[in-house]
Every structure is written in C-alpha cells, then in structure tokens.
Amino acid sequence: MAEPAPGPEPRQADAAAFFRDAPPRVVIEITRRLPARSVLRLRSVCKVLRDVTSYRPLLAAVHLLHPPQPLICFGLNACPDRYIRLRDYCVEALDLRSDMLRPILRFTDNEYYDFIENIVGADAPPIHAFSKDHINYGEEVGDGEHYPRITVHASIDGLLLVSFINIWYICNPATRQWVALPDLSRCTVIGLYAHISSGEYRVLVYTDKDDGATWTRYYVLRVGAEQARGIERPIPPPATTGVGLLNIGLGLLNIGLDSVSLSPPVQLRCNLHWPPQERQGYRMLVFDTEAEVFSWMSSPNPIREGSTQLLEMDRKLAMSVSKNGRPTLELWRLEDYRNEIWVKIYQIRIPVMEIPDLHYIDWFPHVVSPEGDVLIECSNKLLLHCDRNGNLLRKFQFREEAPLVRHTLKETLLPHAIFVAPKITDGDVAPPFFEGL
C-alpha cells in the first residue's frame, strides 16, 4: 500500500532541516539564483531562516552575488474601456543572465481626460512616453499630452529615488520599505549618494538663479531631514589658485547639470562622477561627498557627438560611448584614477544587416554591464539584448510604448537605518506603486 503524500508540515520540516544542515556555500548558490523577493518569502515560511545567524548568508548572497540589473520603463493600457482610461506605468528589472523581466514598481493612473471633449464622443488623448530631451513629469506639455507622473530618478545600494507627482520617496523594492522626502520638484536633482563616514544617504540638488541671485545654489538633503543644507564653497582650494581657473570653474557650476534622470552619476568610493556633459565642457564633473566640493577630470578622448553612460566595472569607473543608430559602441575603463588614464576594453559592433528588426527604424544602443551586454531601444516598441560580440540573444516586444532603459538596480536585503522607525508626519502618503505587485 502506497504511503500517503506528505502534508505541508513534513515538507516544511524537510526544508527547515535542509537549510539547517546544508553547507553555507550550497545555501548561497541557491540564493544567488533567486530574486530578493523570493528570498524574503523563503524566510517567511522557514523558521530556521528567521534566526539572524542563519539568515546572514542569504543577505550576503543577495547583496554581493546578484549583479546590477537594468531597469526598463514602459506603459500599458490598463483598461480598454473608451471612457475609463487607465494607464499602468511599469518599472521592471531585466536579468541579463536569464533574459527574464521581473516587476519592480507598478502604478495605475488615469490618463488626461477632458470632460468637454468627451461630451461629443472624442477619445481622451493618450499619455506619451517621456523622452530624453524634454522631461516635464506629471504636467501638461500641450495638446493634452502628459508625461508619466511616476519617475525613477536614481539608484544606489538597492535603493531607488522615486517621485509620484510632487511626492518623493526613497524605497527598497525588495523589502517594500520606504521613507518620504520633502518636495524636490522646484529643484534639479543631480545625485543620490551614500555618505561613507556617517552611513547616511543624501540627495544632491541645485536651484536655478532666481530672486536676484547671482549664482546657482547647490544643496545637500540628508534622507530623513526636513530641509536641505546649502554648500557654501563648491570649488576646492587647488582650483582657485588662478583667477582664470576660478572663473571657469564657477562659470561651469553656475550653468548647472543635467538632471539625474538624464545623466545618472556613479559613486566610486567617496566621489560621485557624472558622464561628460555639453554644459560642463564635455569634462567629467566629480563631487567629493566628504569635503562637499566639485572638481573635474578628463574622459576618454573628447566626446562631443556620442552619448555616454557610466558604470562600475571591477571596482573601477567605466564609460560606454554610443550614438543613435550607429552600430559601433565602445566601453572604456579608468585604469589609473590618479593619473586619469582610460583604456578601451571593448569595441562592440552590432551587425545591423543581420538583424531585420533594426531596418528602417530609429534605435539607440546602451552598454549596460561590465561584460559588454548591449540593450537596444527601438522605435517599433522592441528591446533587443545583444552580447559584446554582437550576437542577438533575446528580443522583447512591447505592445503600446517603446521601452526606455533607465538606471540599474542592485537588489539588497541588507537593513538600512533610514527605514528603522521612520518619522511619519500627517502629510506623508504611502507610495502607491507597490500595490499592483
């Protein structure tokens, strides 16, 4: 006679016994193949893993072994009804190893709706995806067009800086923890960074010249604080020894920087680095997060026509260079930080003629990993994944909007002090973008 199938309790006991007796390396190898959310669910059903000592290898595996994943933003029609126009704004992470998309944030909102126009039966105009050249989040830009009201501005240490209309949050999508920030919509946000010596997270912003001010003003907002603090002297003393250098430095800083959504910086040690920008004379701007001063460093060859992005590569700074519709990309690495020596690591060529999806359309390539993975945004609502040899690995078809590659996210389950007993005021609103996951 066959034995009855084991019920839930024996199965849980077997799982608990496995994780109790398995070597740490086995647990880590299992964990590195699971997204952070699955690790949390695993811990919730296994009493052994609720012990801090047993859970520590899982935390370390998620934080150290999970590589950064590109974030893909796109929109979907959430309700096909003619008069109930709902839109899903989606942020998903792409695992470059498995080519699987996984939801990170999702928010459903109504599209712009003109009651007078719809009296005569006109359809409500659609919301168009935001572009890289003109970003005006959540506001009407003419002819009834709106840009998405949920925006991912920055990412660091598994945290995302996200805004919903004029409400700003720091959140950890893996643990669904969040903390509200003051309204930053009147500032230009240019960076989110970790302050190493204090363990704090801070947001770097600037305000344009107004109210008779002579210079652009830069501010630092500590996550958890209610007001930002101004930076009094943004140029380091060595750069002010000559009057010419002083005027040039202050002049470039007075112009300001592109927002973090357009030009995301990368933190390496205690310095925050921005890709070369036209308004900064195509030089790399660097912000010392401890001394709170700006300086400049050289980039690989003068880059004036291509688009550049920064990423971390083997604890060194790397830069990808690409052009819209051009098949050749470059990946450079800063081998000697002190002497500013860049070395070209990869020159990647996309075989356009062998990929019919790239024919007769507009497309833009990104290098998104130290291994040379390339993502290609296509105007025909395709996203292509190629390796550094130009081989097409996977293509993703989106139904309604061309996808947009945003920041990368390195998931973590490590605790952050900013989420411990957060102070919630009457004006704080919980973020709505976890509800649909």
Residue 123 has pLDDT above 60, yes or no: no
Residue 437 has pLDDT above 60, yes or no: no
End-to-end CA distance of the chain: 44
- Select, from the ranges 11-20, 82-91, 159-168, 352-361, the one with the highest average predicted confidence (pLDDT): 352-361
For 214-225, what is the mean pLDDT?
86
Sign of the CA dihedral with 350 first, then 353, 358, and 363 last = positive
Comparing CA positions, the residue from 348, 254, 242, 333 lying closest to residue 294 is: 254
Contact present, 180 and 419 (Cβ < 8 Å): no
Tell me the C-alpha distance between 213 and 185, whole Å: 19
Percent pLDDT > 70 in the chain is 64
Residue 92 has pLDDT above 70, yes or no: yes
Tell me the C-alpha distance between 222 and 78, whole Å: 37
Contact present, 434 and 105 (Cβ < 8 Å): yes
What's the pLDDT score for residue 355? Answer: 92
Comparing CA positions, the residue from 308, 303, 300, 370 lying closest to residue 340 is: 300
Tell me the C-alpha distance between 35 and 19, whole Å: 18
**Range 67-434 classified under CATH 2.40.230:** no
Task: Output the pTM of the full model.
Answer: 0.77
For 394-398, what is the mean pLDDT?
91
For 399-420, what is the mean pLDDT?
82
What's the pLDDT score for residue 241? Answer: 46
Contact present, 362 and 376 (Cβ < 8 Å): no
Residue 153 has pLDDT above 70, yes or no: yes
Which of 51-65, 363-377, 379-393, 417-431 comes out lowest in average pLDDT?
51-65
Alpha helices in 237-292 (DSSP H): 243-255
Residue 113 has pLDDT above 50, yes or no: no
Tell me the C-alpha distance between 434 and 437, whole Å: 6
Tokens of 80: 């096909």
DSSP code for 380: T
**What element of type H or E holds 312?**
strand 307-313
DSSP code for 47: G
Residue 80 has pLDDT above 90, yes or no: no
Tokens of 116: 């007078």
Residue 351 has pLDDT above 90, yes or no: yes
What's the pLDDT score for residue 68? Answer: 86
Contact present, 328 and 344 (Cβ < 8 Å): no
Q: What is the largest CA-CA distance in the chain?
A: 94
**What are the sequence ranges of the domains in the chain?**
8-63, 67-434
> Which position has the higher pLDDT, 129 or 37?
37
CB atoms within 10 A of CB 257: 25
User: What band does 350 get if pLDDT is binned at 50, 70 and 90?
Assistant: very high
Residue 197 has pLDDT above 90, yes or no: yes
What's the pLDDT score for residue 43? Answer: 56
Alpha helices in 32-155 (DSSP H): 36-45, 52-65, 115-119
Tell me the C-alpha distance between 358 and 363, whole Å: 7
> Which position has the higher pLDDT, 398 or 406?
398
> Which position has the higher pLDDT, 45 or 369?
369
pLDDT in tens, 277-327: 887 878 889 999 999 999 888 888 766 667 889 998 888 999 999 888 889
User: What band does 217 get if pLDDT is binned at 50, 70 and 90?
Assistant: confident
SS3 state of residue 167: strand
What's the pLDDT score for residue 58? Answer: 57
What's the pLDDT score for residue 429? Answer: 62
What's the pLDDT score for residue 194? Answer: 95
Tell me the C-alpha distance between 254 and 206, whole Å: 10
What's the pLDDT score for residue 53? Answer: 45
Tell me the C-alpha distance between 398 and 402, whole Å: 7
> Which residues make beta-bridge pairs with 93?
71, 102
What's the pLDDT score for residue 137? Answer: 35
> Which residues make beta-bridge pairs with 103?
92
How much helix, strand and coil, in percent to the nearest 5, is found in the chain? Answer: 20, 35, 45
What's the pLDDT score for residue 234? Answer: 72
Q: How many CA atoms lie within 13 A of 159 on its CB side?
A: 25
Residue 408 has pLDDT above 80, yes or no: yes
Compute CA distances 132 → 136, 153, 405, whole Å.
Answer: 10, 13, 11
> Which position has the higher pLDDT, 24 or 361?
361
> Which position has the higher pLDDT, 174 or 166?
174
Residue 40 has pLDDT above 50, yes or no: yes
**What element of type H or E holds 152?**
strand 150-156
What's the pLDDT score for residue 85? Answer: 65
For 164-168, what is the mean pLDDT?
77
Which of 130-134, 172-176, 194-198, 230-234 comes out lowest in average pLDDT?
130-134
